[in-house]
Amino acid sequence: MNKYIYSVDRIYFVNVPRNHDLLEYLIDFIDKEEIKIGFINVIGSLYDVVLGYYNHESDRYEENRLRGIYELASGIGNISLKEGKPFIHLHVVLGTREGVAYAGHLLSGKVFVAEAVIAKLSGEPVERKRVSNTLWLWK
């Protein structure tokens, strides 16, 4: 059974500063705080976002570039190890000025406002293993 068991160590609230790339900032943060296993939720407002859609035939992420500023209506994901380093898998839902929603795997996006709640877990960290050119999963 593909299951891993943890307990909650602590919860961080992080106000990500404006104009940083959201994932780059958060990965730097969890690296410094030695968060190797965790989960995250984040809301706010992002601009110049690239959403990924995994195409299983080509085994590649196709990119949808969204210019302008969007509400970050939802960002949820998990933290685990990939090639020995803390890695964040984050999926997002964005809202336009008219309230229309876009959704996908977050490849990149700049922060206008981002309030992240990060749970640091304790226990033996699970490591992602490569299962194809692009996909790395918990085995």
Distance CA 58, CA 31 (A): 32
Binding site for its own copies (CB under 8 A): 1-8, 10-17, 29, 33, 37, 39, 41, 43, 45, 51-56, 62, 64, 66, 69, 71-74, 76-78, 80, 89-105, 112-113, 115, 117, 119, 121, 126, 135, 137-139
Containing 25, the helix (H) or strand (E) segment is helix 22-32
Q: Quote the CA–CA distance of 14 and 103 in Å, as a whole number.
A: 23
Q: What are phi and psi of 110, to 5 degrees?
A: -95, 150
Q: Tell me how far apart the alpha carbons of residues 31 and 91 are, in angstroms, rounded to a whole number.
A: 20
Quick one: 77 or 86, whose CB is closer to its own copies? 77
- Write down the least CB distance from residue 23 to its own copies, Å: 14
Closest approach of its own copies to the CB of residue 11, in Å? 4
CB of 44 to its own copies, least distance (A): 8
- In whole angstroms, the minimum distance from the beta carbon of 15 to its own copies comes to 4
Of 84 and 99, nearer to its own copies (C-beta) is 99
Q: Distance between CA 81 and CA 129 in Å, rounded?
A: 9
Two tokens, residue 74: 């939802």
Distance CA 20, CA 97 (A): 22
Q: Which is nearer to its own copies, 64 or 85 (CB)?
A: 64
Identity of the residue, 68 or 85, whose beta carbon is nearer to its own copies in the bound complex: 68
